[in-house]
Amino acid sequence: MALDTQTLNSLGFAKSPADTRVVVAMSGGVDSSVVAAMLAEEGYDVVGVTLQLYDHGAALAKKGACCAGIDIHDARRVAEQMGFPHYVLDYENIFKDAVIDEFAESYLGGATPVPCIRCNERVKFKDLLETAKDLDADCMATGHYIQRMNGAEGPELHSAADANRDQSYFLFSTTPEQLSYLRFPLGHLKSKAETRELAAKYGLSVADKPDSQDICFVPDGNYASVIEKLRPGAAEPGEIVHADGRKLGTHKGVIHYTIGQRRGLGIGGLDEPLYVVKLDVDAKQVVVGPKEMLATRKIPVREINWLGDEAFTSRDEWHLKVKVRSTRPPRDAIIRPISETEAEVELLTPEEGVSPGQACVFYAPEGSRIFGGGWIWRGY
C-alpha cells in the first residue's frame, strides 16, 4: 500500500526529522554549510563530514579551492554553531589514486580531463556515501545545484532551477542506486543570492565566502606545473606543425596546450589565425590548423551511465540534447548505442573544440531531465 505523501518529511522519509539521520558532505563553502544549517534547523539528526583530499600546505590561503585547511576549519565552525557533530576524514590517498593520477595520465595522453566529475563519481558518491551508510544515515545531502525528482520509475536527475549554477555536467555519472540515497536541497533555488540570504539568516560566518573556482589541487589553474610535479620530465619539447605538414615552430611540451587554443602558440606572423586541432603525444607534436578543422559532428563516447527508464540499447537511436563542455548549452543530437556503455553521438550542428577526456552529457529534448552521459575518448 502506498504511503500517504503527507506523512513524509522534507527528505522523503515517513518519520520525523529527529528520527532521520542525514550525513551532509561539507566542503567548507557556503552551499554545503547552508544545507547543513537548514537541515539542522528543521530538526534532522545531522552529521557533518568533510574530506581532506590533498596536501593543503600550499593551499591554506588560496582563494577558490575546496577541501583544504581553512575550509575544514570553516566547516567545523558551522557544525559547532548549529550544534551537530562533525568529522574530518583523511582521503588523500584515495583521492590521489582515484582522481589525481588519472588526471595526470589523461593530460599526458593529450586529453582534457575533468577531475571534478571523477571526484564526485569515485570519492564523494562512492567512498563517502558508503561512510554515510556506515554511520546509519538514512541519506546523504550535498550542496550541489541539481535536482532529484521522483518519477514513475524511481528518482530522476534534473537540472537546477538556476541555469547559471547548474552542476548537472559534473554529476552525470551518478547512478540510480546513488541517486536513491542522495539529496540536493539547494537545487530548487532560483539564484545563488538566495543561498547567501539563507546563510545570513542562519548567521553563518561563510555567508560572504567566495565561490570555489579552480580545480582544488591545481593552484591558479596552471595544469602544466602540476603535471610536471606529478610526472617529472613530462614537458618534453617538440614541433608545432601545420595540419598540412609544415613545421611552424617548437614547443616546450604538449602538456602546455589544449584543443582549440589560439593564444600563446608563439607562431605569429602568419596570414591566417591558427588553432590547436590535435595533440600527438607519441610524436611530441602540437598540430595546428584553421578554425574550421575544430568542427566535430560525430563523437565516440564510452563509460556511459544511463539514467533513462528504458534500457539504453532498447532503441537504435535516442534523439536528445547533449553538452560537450560544462560552459556550453545543450545541443540537439542523435545518440546511437553500440553497447550498454558505448555509443556514437552525432551532433546536428557541429561543435568546435570537442576534446578527448571531456564528458558528453545527455539531456531531455524538452524539460530538465538528465539521461546520464559518458566520456569522449577520441575527438576526431
Q: How far apart are CA 256 and CA 281, in angstroms?
A: 12
- The full set of domain ranges for the chain reads 17-202, 236-289, 295-376
Q: How far apart are CA 202 and CA 263, in angstroms?
A: 46
Q: Does domain 17-202 have CATH number 3.40.50.720?
A: no
3-state secondary structure of 107: helix
What pLDDT does 13 receive?
96
- Is the distance from CB of 286 to CB of 261 less than 8 angstroms? no
What pLDDT does 1 receive?
38
| Known binding residues | 25-32, 51, 143
| Known binding residues for ATP | 25-32, 51, 143
Whether 216 is catalytic: yes
What pLDDT does 58 receive?
47
What pLDDT does 289 receive?
92
129: buried, middle or exposed (CB in 10 Å: 19+, 13-18, 0-12)? buried
Q: Which CATH architecture has domain 236-289?
A: Roll (2.30)
What pLDDT does 268 receive?
75
What pLDDT does 3 receive?
47
What pLDDT does 355 receive?
86
Of 116, 119, 139, 360, which residue is the catalytic one?
Answer: 119
Query: What is the Cα 84 distance to its own chain's centre?
Result: 28
What pLDDT does 216 receive?
79
Of 67, 116, 139, 216, which residue is the catalytic one?
Answer: 216
* Domain at 295-376, CATH class: mainly beta
Whether 116 is catalytic: no
Which residues of the chain are modeled with pLDDT < 50? 1-5, 56-65, 67, 380
What pLDDT does 362 receive?
98
Instruction: Give me the phi and psi of 288, to 5 degrees please.
Output: -120, 160
What pLDDT does 221 receive?
73
Q: Show the cell assigned to 250.
A: 617548437
What pLDDT does 68 receive?
55
- Is the distance from CB of 180 to CB of 3 less than 8 angstroms? no
